[in-house]
A = this chain, B = another copy of it.
Amino acid sequence: MIKLAVDAMGGDLGSKIVVDAVLNYLNEHNDVEFYVVGKKEELTALEGKANIVDARDVMGMEDGALSILRKKETSMNKAVELVSSSQCDGVVSCGSTGAFLTLATLKVKLIPGVKRAALGTFMPTLVEGKYTLILDVGASNENNAEQIAQFAEIGECVYRNVYKKDAVNVYLLSNGAEEHKGCPEGKEAYQILKNHQYPWFKGNMEAKECLNGSVDVLATGGYAGNVLLKSIEGTAMMVSSLLKESLYMNLRTKIGAKIAYPALKNLKKRIDPSKGGGACLMGINKVCVKAHGNANARAFQTAIEYAINMINSPMIDSLKEKYGTKD
């Protein structure tokens, strides 16, 4: 049975959404043993259903690397330790990204050969059932060319193994499709990938095209990747709001909306932001999934499901094999 550590603190909406997410998951599945870390008095609803690990402190958003490691009583530190000590197979947290990256890198450790972990997220696209893996979506706020080029390698390896797809295509995010386009480190990453003559490297891609369903993997530095991810989310929410507002315009449009309801439900299913279930730190020895800071119970449950899928997938083994350190 999979053992999953869950950090119940650090999210904007408190531990209640984490408790609800775990309970909802357990109502539907029985394949996971949870270790939920947080203030035990806030986790009483989980008694008898999950292992409760008491933690009195919460990781702040502004904590620097030293303070992150020192704050041993934080729920995040304790949750990550459950993984680094091999008691658990993976961890989910909606706390500070920077702290999570630091703890995962220093305690669970990078797969040898990996320069830096990247937050990878599978985004739904225009083509139903087709996902594009985007990485890094914000583990770092600065990456050099070697790191970005390696994110492309990691993405290719993960996508090929997770989807059992032979010919994966990988693009670099850029401000134009041409070879000479891009930020300086992006242009350099392009040359590194080109020099390797990777058959899967297909060149640059603009943000506009990346969700049309033709792309398997889109590699980028973490800052631009974060801007990309957040603006996709923001725009999808904005268009949904405008649609709703328009459909409430008058009686006629309300009636039309009622009749067209199955279509609107289908649209919602396709773009539901709460399904954006977080991002996995790829390149770490174990599965570490970061949920949104403002995740609700539904979104946190999706992050749990994402972690379990990744644990069940050959992601980690395939990366260890690629970089020559498989046990």
Interface residues of A in 218-260 (CB under 8 A from B): 222-224, 226-243, 246-247, 249-250, 252-253, 255-260
A2 at interface by CB-CB < 8 Å: no
Stretch among A49-57, A146-154, A207-215 lining the B interface: A207-215
Further 8 A-B residue pairs, CB within 8 A, beyond A126-B241, A243-B263:
A61-B176, A61-B178, A183-B223, A243-B267, A253-B262, A256-B256, A256-B258, A256-B261
Say whether B256 contacts A270, CB under 8 Å. Answer: no
A211 proximity list for chain B (CB < 8 A): 234-235, 238
Say whether A126 contacts B224, CB under 8 Å. Answer: no
A271 at interface by CB-CB < 8 Å: yes
Nearest opposing residue in chain B for A259, CB measure: B256
A184 at interface by CB-CB < 8 Å: yes
| Cα–Cα, bound, A206→B234 (Å) | 9
Shortest beta-carbon distance, A309 to chain B, in Å? 24
Known contacts A231-B231, A259-B259, A260-B257: A271-B242 contact under CB 8 Å: yes
A62 at interface by CB-CB < 8 Å: yes
A102 at interface by CB-CB < 8 Å: no
Copies in the assembly, this chain: 2
Q: Of the candidates B175, B230, B246, B259, which one forms a contact with A263 in the assembled complex, judged by CB atoms under 8 Å apart?
A: B246
A232 proximity list for chain B (CB < 8 A): 231, 234-235
Residue of A232, A238, A255 with highest tally of chain B CB at under 10 A = A238
A138 at interface by CB-CB < 8 Å: yes
A109 at interface by CB-CB < 8 Å: no
A157 proximity list for chain B (CB < 8 A): none
A325 at interface by CB-CB < 8 Å: no
A266 at interface by CB-CB < 8 Å: yes
Residue of A61, A212, A226, A227 with highest tally of chain B CB at under 10 A = A227
| Cα–Cα, bound, A235→B240 (Å) | 11
A26 at interface by CB-CB < 8 Å: no
Q: Of the candidates B210, B233, B234, which one forms a contact with A234 in the assembled complex, judged by CB atoms under 8 Å apart?
A: B210
A173 at interface by CB-CB < 8 Å: yes
A69 at interface by CB-CB < 8 Å: no
A141 at interface by CB-CB < 8 Å: yes
A142 at interface by CB-CB < 8 Å: yes
Shortest beta-carbon distance, A183 to chain B, in Å? 4
A311 proximity list for chain B (CB < 8 A): none
A246 proximity list for chain B (CB < 8 A): 263-264, 266-267, 270
A181 at interface by CB-CB < 8 Å: yes
| Cα–Cα, bound, A212→B230 (Å) | 13
